[in-house]
Amino acid sequence: MNLQHKHTATAFSPASALIYYISLPFIYLVSVLPFRLLYLLSNFLNFLLFRVIGYRKKVVLANLHKSFPEMTDTEIYRICKKFYQHFCDFFLETLKILTIRKKELLKRCQFTPEAFDLLSKFADQDKSVLLVMGHNGNWEWSCNAFNMLSKHQLFVVYHPISNKYFDGLMRRIRERGGSRLIAMKNTYREMAHNKNGLNATAFVADQTPQPDHAYWTTFLHQDTPVFKGMEVIAKKMDLPVLYTSVKKIKRGYYEMTAEVLSEHPVNTADGELTELFTRRLEKDIIGQPETWLWSHRRWKHKRPADAELHVEN
Protein backbone atom coordinates (compact mmCIF):
# COMPACT_ATOMS: atom_id res chain seq x y z
CA MET A 1 0.00 0.00 0.00
CA ASN A 2 3.03 2.29 -0.28
CA LEU A 3 1.79 5.28 -2.26
CA GLN A 4 5.27 6.58 -3.07
CA HIS A 5 6.14 5.67 -6.65
CA LYS A 6 9.63 4.68 -7.68
CA HIS A 7 11.01 6.39 -10.76
CA THR A 8 11.63 3.26 -12.81
CA ALA A 9 10.74 2.23 -16.32
CA THR A 10 7.37 0.56 -16.65
CA ALA A 11 7.65 -3.18 -17.08
CA PHE A 12 5.52 -6.07 -18.29
CA SER A 13 5.18 -9.53 -16.82
CA PRO A 14 2.32 -12.05 -16.96
CA ALA A 15 2.19 -12.02 -13.15
CA SER A 16 1.75 -8.22 -12.98
CA ALA A 17 -1.04 -8.38 -15.56
CA LEU A 18 -2.78 -11.20 -13.64
CA ILE A 19 -2.58 -9.30 -10.33
CA TYR A 20 -3.99 -6.19 -11.97
CA TYR A 21 -6.95 -7.90 -13.65
CA ILE A 22 -7.81 -9.86 -10.50
CA SER A 23 -7.65 -6.66 -8.43
CA LEU A 24 -9.60 -4.44 -10.80
CA PRO A 25 -13.14 -5.67 -9.99
CA PHE A 26 -12.47 -5.29 -6.26
CA ILE A 27 -11.05 -1.79 -6.82
CA TYR A 28 -14.21 -0.71 -8.63
CA LEU A 29 -16.40 -2.44 -6.04
CA VAL A 30 -14.73 -0.35 -3.34
CA SER A 31 -15.02 2.78 -5.48
CA VAL A 32 -18.80 2.53 -5.85
CA LEU A 33 -19.42 2.08 -2.12
CA PRO A 34 -21.36 4.94 -0.49
CA PHE A 35 -19.16 6.97 1.86
CA ARG A 36 -20.74 5.50 4.98
CA LEU A 37 -19.69 1.99 3.93
CA LEU A 38 -16.38 3.23 2.56
CA TYR A 39 -15.40 4.56 5.97
CA LEU A 40 -16.60 1.40 7.72
CA LEU A 41 -14.23 -0.47 5.42
CA SER A 42 -11.52 2.05 6.27
CA ASN A 43 -12.05 1.37 9.98
CA PHE A 44 -11.57 -2.35 9.37
CA LEU A 45 -8.51 -1.74 7.20
CA ASN A 46 -7.09 0.52 9.89
CA PHE A 47 -7.56 -2.24 12.47
CA LEU A 48 -5.66 -4.69 10.25
CA LEU A 49 -2.78 -2.33 9.41
CA PHE A 50 -2.36 -0.75 12.82
CA ARG A 51 -3.33 -3.48 15.28
CA VAL A 52 -2.73 -6.76 13.43
CA ILE A 53 -0.08 -6.29 10.76
CA GLY A 54 1.68 -3.22 12.14
CA TYR A 55 2.36 -1.97 8.60
CA ARG A 56 5.50 0.21 8.78
CA LYS A 57 4.66 1.08 12.38
CA LYS A 58 8.35 1.19 13.37
CA VAL A 59 9.04 3.63 10.53
CA VAL A 60 6.10 5.84 11.47
CA LEU A 61 6.97 5.92 15.17
CA ALA A 62 10.66 6.57 14.49
CA ASN A 63 9.82 9.44 12.13
CA LEU A 64 7.43 10.96 14.66
CA HIS A 65 9.85 10.67 17.60
CA LYS A 66 12.65 12.36 15.63
CA SER A 67 10.37 15.06 14.28
CA PHE A 68 8.75 15.90 17.62
CA PRO A 69 11.46 15.25 20.25
CA GLU A 70 9.59 17.44 22.76
CA MET A 71 6.52 15.17 22.76
CA THR A 72 5.83 12.36 25.21
CA ASP A 73 5.42 8.75 24.10
CA THR A 74 1.68 9.07 24.73
CA GLU A 75 1.41 12.11 22.44
CA ILE A 76 3.45 10.39 19.72
CA TYR A 77 1.30 7.27 19.91
CA ARG A 78 -1.87 9.38 19.64
CA ILE A 79 -0.60 11.00 16.43
CA CYS A 80 0.48 7.61 15.09
CA LYS A 81 -2.99 6.18 15.71
CA LYS A 82 -4.66 9.13 13.95
CA PHE A 83 -2.24 8.84 11.06
CA TYR A 84 -3.20 5.24 10.33
CA GLN A 85 -6.88 6.12 10.26
CA HIS A 86 -6.21 9.01 7.89
CA PHE A 87 -3.92 6.85 5.76
CA CYS A 88 -6.65 4.23 5.30
CA ASP A 89 -9.22 6.93 4.56
CA PHE A 90 -6.86 8.47 2.00
CA PHE A 91 -6.23 5.15 0.26
CA LEU A 92 -9.93 4.37 -0.15
CA GLU A 93 -10.78 7.98 -1.03
CA THR A 94 -8.23 7.75 -3.83
CA LEU A 95 -10.02 4.72 -5.28
CA LYS A 96 -13.31 6.58 -4.91
CA ILE A 97 -12.12 9.07 -7.55
CA LEU A 98 -12.78 6.43 -10.22
CA THR A 99 -16.55 6.75 -9.81
CA ILE A 100 -17.27 9.84 -7.70
CA ARG A 101 -19.48 12.49 -9.25
CA LYS A 102 -17.98 15.93 -9.89
CA LYS A 103 -20.59 17.63 -7.72
CA GLU A 104 -19.84 15.29 -4.81
CA LEU A 105 -16.07 15.77 -5.06
CA LEU A 106 -16.38 19.56 -5.18
CA LYS A 107 -18.63 19.48 -2.11
CA ARG A 108 -15.90 17.62 -0.25
CA CYS A 109 -12.78 19.37 -1.56
CA GLN A 110 -12.88 23.14 -2.10
CA PHE A 111 -10.67 26.21 -2.37
CA THR A 112 -10.71 28.78 0.37
CA PRO A 113 -12.10 32.07 -1.00
CA GLU A 114 -8.62 33.60 -0.71
CA ALA A 115 -7.03 30.78 -2.74
CA PHE A 116 -9.72 31.04 -5.42
CA ASP A 117 -9.22 34.81 -5.66
CA LEU A 118 -5.44 34.46 -5.89
CA LEU A 119 -5.58 31.94 -8.72
CA SER A 120 -8.23 33.96 -10.50
CA LYS A 121 -5.98 37.02 -10.32
CA PHE A 122 -3.16 35.21 -12.12
CA ALA A 123 -5.62 33.73 -14.62
CA ASP A 124 -7.02 37.19 -15.39
CA GLN A 125 -3.44 38.34 -16.01
CA ASP A 126 -2.95 35.32 -18.32
CA LYS A 127 -0.10 34.10 -16.09
CA SER A 128 0.78 30.46 -15.67
CA VAL A 129 1.90 29.42 -12.19
CA LEU A 130 4.01 26.77 -10.53
CA LEU A 131 2.44 25.04 -7.52
CA VAL A 132 4.49 23.37 -4.81
CA MET A 133 2.95 21.15 -2.15
CA GLY A 134 3.58 18.21 0.17
CA HIS A 135 2.00 14.83 0.84
CA ASN A 136 -0.53 16.08 3.36
CA GLY A 137 -4.32 16.04 3.43
CA ASN A 138 -5.62 14.39 0.28
CA TRP A 139 -3.44 15.51 -2.61
CA GLU A 140 -5.22 13.17 -5.05
CA TRP A 141 -8.63 14.75 -4.44
CA SER A 142 -7.12 18.22 -4.52
CA CYS A 143 -5.49 17.69 -7.93
CA ASN A 144 -8.80 16.57 -9.43
CA ALA A 145 -10.80 19.33 -7.75
CA PHE A 146 -8.24 22.00 -8.67
CA ASN A 147 -8.65 21.42 -12.37
CA MET A 148 -12.44 21.58 -12.04
CA LEU A 149 -12.34 24.88 -10.12
CA SER A 150 -9.47 26.79 -11.72
CA LYS A 151 -9.16 28.47 -15.12
CA HIS A 152 -5.62 27.08 -15.27
CA GLN A 153 -4.99 23.70 -16.89
CA LEU A 154 -3.33 21.61 -14.19
CA PHE A 155 -0.27 19.50 -14.94
CA VAL A 156 1.02 17.23 -12.17
CA VAL A 157 4.64 16.08 -12.05
CA TYR A 158 4.75 12.42 -11.00
CA HIS A 159 6.85 9.25 -10.78
CA PRO A 160 5.55 6.48 -13.08
CA ILE A 161 4.86 3.14 -11.36
CA SER A 162 6.92 0.17 -12.52
CA ASN A 163 3.80 -1.97 -13.13
CA LYS A 164 2.37 -0.46 -16.33
CA TYR A 165 -1.15 -1.66 -15.52
CA PHE A 166 -1.31 0.04 -12.13
CA ASP A 167 0.46 3.04 -13.62
CA GLY A 168 -2.40 3.26 -16.11
CA LEU A 169 -4.92 2.97 -13.27
CA MET A 170 -3.27 5.81 -11.36
CA ARG A 171 -3.23 7.92 -14.51
CA ARG A 172 -6.97 7.28 -14.88
CA ILE A 173 -7.52 8.36 -11.27
CA ARG A 174 -5.36 11.47 -11.52
CA GLU A 175 -6.61 12.60 -14.91
CA ARG A 176 -10.33 12.00 -14.32
CA GLY A 177 -10.93 15.63 -13.35
CA GLY A 178 -9.08 16.89 -16.43
CA SER A 179 -5.58 17.16 -14.97
CA ARG A 180 -2.64 15.96 -17.05
CA LEU A 181 0.48 14.16 -15.88
CA ILE A 182 4.12 14.86 -16.61
CA ALA A 183 6.76 12.21 -15.86
CA MET A 184 9.42 13.84 -13.69
CA LYS A 185 12.24 13.25 -16.19
CA ASN A 186 10.28 15.22 -18.83
CA THR A 187 9.23 18.13 -16.61
CA TYR A 188 11.15 21.05 -18.11
CA ARG A 189 10.68 19.89 -21.69
CA GLU A 190 6.91 19.52 -21.25
CA MET A 191 6.57 22.84 -19.43
CA ALA A 192 8.52 24.62 -22.18
CA HIS A 193 6.33 22.93 -24.81
CA ASN A 194 3.16 24.14 -23.04
CA LYS A 195 4.43 27.61 -22.13
CA ASN A 196 1.90 29.44 -24.32
CA GLY A 197 -1.10 28.02 -22.47
CA LEU A 198 -2.61 29.10 -19.17
CA ASN A 199 -1.20 26.34 -16.98
CA ALA A 200 -0.54 25.42 -13.37
CA THR A 201 2.21 22.82 -12.87
CA ALA A 202 2.16 21.04 -9.51
CA PHE A 203 5.27 19.67 -7.80
CA VAL A 204 4.70 17.40 -4.80
CA ALA A 205 8.16 18.27 -3.56
CA ASP A 206 8.63 16.48 -0.23
CA GLN A 207 9.87 13.18 -1.65
CA THR A 208 13.42 11.91 -1.20
CA PRO A 209 16.02 12.75 -3.86
CA GLN A 210 19.45 11.20 -4.22
CA PRO A 211 21.62 12.79 -1.53
CA ASP A 212 24.48 13.80 -3.85
CA HIS A 213 22.21 15.96 -6.02
CA ALA A 214 19.94 17.42 -3.35
CA TYR A 215 19.58 20.69 -1.52
CA TRP A 216 20.23 19.96 2.16
CA THR A 217 18.40 21.75 4.94
CA THR A 218 16.90 21.14 8.37
CA PHE A 219 13.31 19.92 8.33
CA LEU A 220 11.48 18.74 11.45
CA HIS A 221 14.76 18.80 13.41
CA GLN A 222 16.61 16.58 10.93
CA ASP A 223 19.12 16.94 8.09
CA THR A 224 16.91 16.54 5.03
CA PRO A 225 17.57 16.38 1.28
CA VAL A 226 15.11 18.29 -0.92
CA PHE A 227 14.66 18.19 -4.69
CA LYS A 228 16.21 21.17 -6.47
CA GLY A 229 14.07 20.76 -9.60
CA MET A 230 11.18 22.97 -8.54
CA GLU A 231 13.44 25.94 -7.84
CA VAL A 232 15.62 25.42 -10.93
CA ILE A 233 12.61 25.31 -13.26
CA ALA A 234 10.86 28.21 -11.51
CA LYS A 235 13.93 30.38 -12.08
CA LYS A 236 14.41 29.29 -15.69
CA MET A 237 10.79 30.09 -16.58
CA ASP A 238 10.30 32.89 -14.01
CA LEU A 239 6.85 31.63 -13.12
CA PRO A 240 5.04 32.75 -9.95
CA VAL A 241 5.49 30.06 -7.30
CA LEU A 242 2.50 29.31 -5.09
CA TYR A 243 2.57 27.11 -2.01
CA THR A 244 -0.60 25.04 -1.91
CA SER A 245 -1.87 23.07 1.03
CA VAL A 246 -4.72 20.63 1.66
CA LYS A 247 -6.16 20.79 5.16
CA LYS A 248 -8.48 18.10 6.50
CA ILE A 249 -11.60 19.80 7.88
CA LYS A 250 -13.26 16.58 9.01
CA ARG A 251 -13.49 13.03 7.76
CA GLY A 252 -14.04 13.12 4.01
CA TYR A 253 -13.80 16.92 3.69
CA TYR A 254 -10.78 18.99 2.69
CA GLU A 255 -9.91 22.63 2.02
CA MET A 256 -7.26 23.88 -0.40
CA THR A 257 -5.24 27.00 0.32
CA ALA A 258 -2.72 28.89 -1.80
CA GLU A 259 -0.22 31.65 -1.11
CA VAL A 260 2.57 33.28 -3.09
CA LEU A 261 6.14 32.29 -2.28
CA SER A 262 7.59 34.42 -5.07
CA GLU A 263 6.10 36.23 -8.06
CA HIS A 264 9.49 36.51 -9.75
CA PRO A 265 11.72 33.55 -8.82
CA VAL A 266 14.53 34.83 -11.05
CA ASN A 267 15.14 37.52 -8.42
CA THR A 268 15.50 35.07 -5.51
CA ALA A 269 18.77 33.82 -4.04
CA ASP A 270 19.88 30.21 -4.49
CA GLY A 271 17.97 28.00 -2.10
CA GLU A 272 15.51 30.71 -1.11
CA LEU A 273 12.44 29.15 -2.74
CA THR A 274 13.31 25.70 -1.42
CA GLU A 275 13.66 27.11 2.09
CA LEU A 276 10.38 29.00 1.85
CA PHE A 277 8.58 25.83 0.75
CA THR A 278 10.23 23.68 3.43
CA ARG A 279 9.39 26.10 6.24
CA ARG A 280 5.79 26.47 5.07
CA LEU A 281 5.28 22.72 4.78
CA GLU A 282 6.84 22.23 8.20
CA LYS A 283 4.34 24.67 9.70
CA ASP A 284 1.42 22.75 8.15
CA ILE A 285 2.73 19.40 9.39
CA ILE A 286 3.12 20.73 12.93
CA GLY A 287 -0.43 22.10 12.77
CA GLN A 288 -1.99 18.83 11.54
CA PRO A 289 0.63 16.08 11.86
CA GLU A 290 -1.66 13.09 11.37
CA THR A 291 -2.36 13.97 7.73
CA TRP A 292 1.26 13.85 6.48
CA LEU A 293 2.75 10.67 4.95
CA TRP A 294 4.79 9.40 7.91
CA SER A 295 5.12 5.87 6.47
CA HIS A 296 7.54 7.19 3.84
CA ARG A 297 11.23 6.63 4.70
CA ARG A 298 11.92 10.34 4.33
CA TRP A 299 15.21 10.35 6.21
CA LYS A 300 16.84 7.19 4.84
CA HIS A 301 19.85 9.11 3.46
CA LYS A 302 22.66 10.73 5.42
CA ARG A 303 24.09 14.06 4.41
CA PRO A 304 27.33 13.66 2.41
CA ALA A 305 30.32 15.10 4.20
CA ASP A 306 30.93 17.67 1.46
CA ALA A 307 27.30 18.81 1.18
CA GLU A 308 26.50 22.26 2.51
CA LEU A 309 23.78 22.23 5.15
CA HIS A 310 21.44 25.22 5.20
CA VAL A 311 20.13 25.84 8.69
CA GLU A 312 17.10 28.06 9.28
CA ASN A 313 17.91 30.84 11.73
pLDDT tens, N- to C-terminus, the chain (313 residues): 444 444 444 455 788 888 999 999 999 999 999 999 999 999 999 999 999 999 999 999 999 999 999 999 999 999 999 999 999 999 999 999 999 999 999 999 999 999 999 999 999 999 999 999 999 999 999 999 999 999 999 999 998 988 899 999 999 999 999 999 999 999 999 999 999 999 999 999 998 898 888 999 999 999 999 999 999 999 999 999 999 999 999 999 999 999 999 999 999 999 999 999 999 999 999 999 999 999 999 999 888 887 778 876 5
Q: Can you give the pLDDT at residue 306?
A: 76
Per-residue exposure over 101-131, b if at least 16 CB sit within 10 Å of its own CB, e if not: eeeebbebbbbeeebeebbeebbeeeebbbb
Q: Can you give the pLDDT at residue 312?
A: 60
Q: Can you give the pLDDT at residue 304?
A: 87
> For residues 96 and 144, is the Cβ–Cβ distance under 8 A?
no
Q: Can you give the pLDDT at residue 307?
A: 76
Q: Residue 251's Cα: distance from chain center in Å?
A: 18
Its pTM stands at: 0.91
pLDDT digits (tens, 9 = 90+) for 145-204: 999 999 999 999 998 988 899 999 999 999 999 999 999 999 999 999 999 999 999 999
Residue 71: Cβ-neighbour burial (10 angstroms; 0-12, 13-18, 19+) = middle
